Amino acid sequence: MRFVRELAEPWGLLLAATSAGAAWAVQLPVVTALGVGVTVLAARAGVAAATRKPAPDPEERALPDVEPGSPEAGWLRRAEAAAEGFSSISDSLEAGPLADRVADMAPVVRETVDTLRRLAGRATATGKALTRVDAGAVSAEKARLRKELKTADDDIRGDLTQSLEAVQAQQDVHARLTSAQRKLMAQLRSGALGLDGLVARAAELSAATGDALLDTTTIGELGEQLEGIRRGVVETEEATRRSLG
């Protein structure tokens, strides 16, 4: 598909036409001149398709940075450390049912940490947005406008009402941002501590003297624990994306 798009690119068509015109100008047959143009166009499209970098994914391009030293950065580091611990346990296990189960879980652990990283970035962005709304000043302005409306003349009542609506909109934004930030921070904490607990449980099972001591149910509990963590993280990401629109 990229090759086809490059064939239709205006600069490529211009280059092909110029090449064909030059070939015809030196008295080559018309068919040959057209062949030169087609060859140039195809070669140019092939090179461009092979070398042009694909456009970055919009979600990745918009991914906000995590503020260094912030609470969200601390929880993210803890989650990343837990993922490293889980990987270390996976590498140390001898072949057997537990090793197979832990190996299957490793990609889900990494996926969960990636989601937590996005949540941490969103928490930082939400915190910065909150600093742009002075909740105290907005609340005071709302109270003043309400007081003025009680005694306002009809000729200014409409203006005061519009001002009050604008102030209310700011309050609504602040409330949504505050709610989203609390949810994000709660999930970051829950996700990081959940991964910590998962690593501790995996380490406990790995300390068993042999896989014969571990029944299928016990091993399966690890997967259930991880799925609960993953689901909570994903649901929080979706919920905050909807609320902040």
Sequence-ordered alpha helix ranges (H) in 93-215: 97-130, 135-151, 154-206
The answer to whether the CB of 100 falls within 8 A of the CB of 205 is no
The answer to whether the CB of 243 falls within 8 A of the CB of 179 is yes
Count of residues for the chain?
A: 245
Confidence class of residue 191 from pLDDT cuts 50, 70 and 90?
very high
pLDDT at 38 over 90: no
**Angle subtended at Cα 54 by Cα 66 and Cα 235, rounded to the nearest 5 degrees:** 40
Residues 6+ apart with CB under 8 A from 198: 82, 86, 109, 222, 225, 226, 229
Q: Which of 91, 131, 89 is nearest to 226 (CA)?
A: 89
Threshold 0.85, pTM exceeds: no
* pLDDT tens profile 66-75: 889 999 999 9
Rounded CA-CA distance 24/33 in Å is 5
Identify which has the larger pLDDT, 12 or 153: 153
* pLDDT tens profile 94-149: 888 888 888 889 999 999 999 999 999 999 999 999 988 888 998 999 999 999 98
End-to-end CA distance of the chain: 32
